[in-house]
Structure 1
Amino acid sequence: MWNKPWKYREGIAICIGLLITGALLQASIGPVEWRFFMWPANIIALALLIAALVLFYMLRSKAYIFRFMAQTEAAVPALATAAILTVIMGLTRQVPEGHLAMEPIGLSRILSFWPFVLIYLWNTIIVAEVGIYQLVHFQKRFIPSLVSHLGLFIFLTCGVLGSVDMKRLKMYCEEGNPEWRALDSYDKVHELPLAIELQKFTIDEYPPKLAMFESKTGKALPKEKPQNIVIEKGFTSAELAGWTITVEKYIEDAMPAGMLKMLQGMPEQMMKMMKMDDLGMRINAGGFVEYKDKGAATAILIKAQKGKTVKRGWVSSGSYMFPMSSLKLDDNTEIGMSAREPLRYV
């Protein structure tokens, strides 16, 4: 080993050495603190990196390791190690930037994990050295590879060093109210140099679905292969588990008539004092009426018939303002509407 020319085993050994070095740095001085690279430190670091890369290339004839950097035997193990660490990052829950890792190793904050940083730095150096070689010994056949290597170098360096100055903020917007304040991951308020006004927000949903379920367990029926009916535009009737389901009235945005009366006439304090059974009876009294405001939900008046048995009533998926409504077919079976699935947000 370490006999010239170096092969893949030397490339693997370098990666293992970087991982061990990174683990020792992680244990001794802690994770990489990227805040030290905020502007103008990041542009200075980039200039120093480029100067070092040029120096490495100039010393190729004197130090074999600088020639080895531009060889496939160095690139393949480096890329493989970076890929493994990236997979670990994807499989590990990551904490927001600036927060402490959830475990002592530091894998939940892998972008500041020294082994990860050193491997990606090694990959960046290899990409840059290949690009410099192709620029110095330029040929037309090098153009595709040269563009790829330079693009990857720009992505790795500027993407990392530029992200230090980026703030991730969360803004809560209400319709018709301009908002210029946002919250960071610590819930600290930041005033932005711009304002955002939410003029209108709508959600397009898939058509509602009706399904049968057990009253006691809530499990869909039939148990072996649950069935449902999609209530699309123009729907009249269909079979569901032996029952003929007919739509008699359809309200896209509805509110229980009893609930609407309570909202209009009963004080909130009195609603809180009522028993849940009494509250539910009052809400469901009088069916559903059209209601174009917050908290509305789709409601359908259906007729379910099986032989001579006929059941009629309202079904609704409910909302945060009122519970779902279902139609009881017998002691053990009900028919209800599942929550509508969003199609798109506008």
Structure 2
Amino acid sequence: MSIKKPIWQHPFGYAESFIISFGILSVGFILEFILPKTQSTLVFPLNLILGISFFVLLVVSHFLFRKTKIHSFLSGIPLTIALVSSLSFLVILMGILPQVSSHKTGLIQQLGLNQMTSSYPFLMINVLLLIVLAFVSLRKTFPFKLKNWGFVCSHWGLWIVIFAGGLGSGDLRRLKMDVYENKIELQSYDENKKLYEMPLAIKLKDFLIDEFNPKLAIVENETGKLYEAQKPSMIMIEKGLHCDLQSWKIQVEEFYVASGRAGDRYYQLADFGAAPAAKVQAISPQNDTLQGWISCGSFNRPHESLKLNDQFSLVMTVPEPKRFSSVVTFYTPDGKKQDATLEVNKPVTVNGWKIYQLSYDDKMGRYSNKSILEVVRDPWQPYVYLGIFMMMIGAVYMFWKGRETIRE
């Protein structure tokens, strides 16, 4: 019959580890609740100095106290699992709750749950996890044995990911730039519309956009809401289209991607602001036939719908973008020029900045002369990638070694 060990008696196990982790989370949330909110973060070179000092302190502490009970507990499996569980809990909260700054004063904002990565509980758990990982990794590194290199590589990789990700958050810059055709732009802005002068200039030479054809839809006359009694609720327009939309039979007799109205009809027109239009015929469930023109309009053209009855109208939706891109020229302080085409999810890197195609003036649509770019600088990112690569190499080796051991 096994005898249950009293709690808080060495060696500490899972119970003590989870109590400590819960206590750290509680203290972190209390600090977040009572202390005033600050936006200050460590930036280069202070974060680098602090990081090096922290690492040196860990190494010295390891060699001075590696034979003590506290070091044994800090480098043990129970505390590691408890801390990883606590960190996983915080990450789950991050996935559930929107991580955006807010001027509200509710409980979520007071506990920092809307900005988890800069909150006290997240910081405290990560610092203790760094201590634990460092002691575990140092214990396997000194003295070094070749058979342990996979374990050492993966654990140091995880330590580098957490270390570089935490310290580098202050140097991360994620800004937006509004660039206009044939104009050079130097200024960017953050989410609070605070302006920053960039160390590079961007000129928009051309903004290109391809759109899908607009769609047919039926809306309620009183509310303007989409009527979705049956699926599909919207159908893409094509010339000669015959379809059933809700209870009506629809035929598209004419369709123009760009047009203008003259008299009682629309004509194809290649003009600035020309809008899509279609001549349609609608047959009701009672076999009543209606015919007319519909258009989604544009920034300088009104929209037009076909009233089906007192309740519903047939409308054309605004075309959705299929692909949009910006042809730009970058100017750097050293006098160099670089031409590039920016597309969504295809960034271009210039002088350490990654420039992404983000959006455009959706009110102008295909006639937009403004492109909205996102400019990102993260000097610590290569070290995070290095840590991830080390984790992958170590994990693959340990998996291969484990299979070899099983076969033996």
TM-score band (shorter)? 0.7 to 0.9
Number of residue equivalences: 316
Alpha-carbon distance, 1:118 to partner:
0.7
Change in Cα spacing, 1:100 to 1:301, as seen in structure 2 (3 Å) is: closer
Q: Give distance in 2, aligned partners of 1:345 and 1:190.
A: 26
1:131 partnered with 2:137? yes
1:230 partnered with 2:236? yes
1:172 partnered with 2:201? no
The within-5 A match list for 1:40-119 is 40-96=45-101, 103-119=109-125
Q: Give distance in 2, aligned partners of 1:50 and 1:231.
A: 63
Which residue in the other structure is 1:263 paired with? none
Q: 1:217-274 CA distances to partner (integer Å, 9 max, x unpaired)? A: 5455573556443324x6443344565433332211334458xxxxxxxxxxxxxxxx
The within-5 A match list for 1:297-336 is 297-305=275-283, 310-336=289-315
1:197 counterpart SS class:
strand
Q: 1:83-130 CA distances to partner (integer Å, 9 max, x unpaired)? A: 112222333344459x99764333333333222211111111222222
Task: Report the TM-score when normalising by structure 1.
Answer: 0.77
Which structure 2 segments of 5+ residues have no match? 1-6, 326-408
Point out the structure with the larger strand share. 2
**8 Å CA contact retained: 1:317, 1:337:** yes
Task: Report the TM-score when normalising by structure 2.
Answer: 0.67
Q: 1:50-83 CA distances to partner (integer Å, 9 max, x unpaired)? A: 1121123213444212122222111111011111
**8 Å CA contact retained: 2:130, 2:162:** yes
AA at the equivalent of 1:290: L
**8 Å CA contact retained: 1:288, 1:314:** no
**8 Å CA contact retained: 2:230, 2:246:** no
Alpha-carbon distance, 1:49 to partner:
1.1
Which residue in the other structure is 1:191 paired with? 197
Alpha-carbon distance, 1:199 to partner:
2.7
Alpha-carbon distance, 1:15 to partner:
1.2
**Higher RCO (CA < 8 A, seq sep 6+):** 2
Change in Cα spacing, 1:100 to 1:38, as seen in structure 2 (3 Å) is: farther
AA at the equivalent of 1:3: Q
Which residue in the other structure is 1:264 paired with? none
Point out the more displaced range, 134-143 or 110-119: 134-143
**8 Å CA contact retained: 1:171, 1:183:** yes
**8 Å CA contact retained: 2:231, 2:246:** no
Q: Give distance in 2, aligned partners of 1:213 and 1:184.
A: 38
2:314 counterpart SS class:
strand
Alpha-carbon distance, 1:338 to partner:
2.5
Partner of residue 127 from structure 2, selected from 108, 121, 140: 121
Q: 1:109-167 CA distances to partner (integer Å, 9 max, x unpaired)? A: 33332222111111112222222222224344433332222222122112221221233
Change in Cα spacing, 1:25 to 1:253, as seen in structure 2 (3 Å) is: same
Point out the more displaced range, 147-156 or 213-222: 213-222
**8 Å CA contact retained: 1:252, 1:298:** yes
Change in Cα spacing, 1:215 to 1:89, as seen in structure 2 (3 Å) is: closer
Alpha-carbon distance, 1:337 to partner:
1.6
AA at the equivalent of 2:300: M
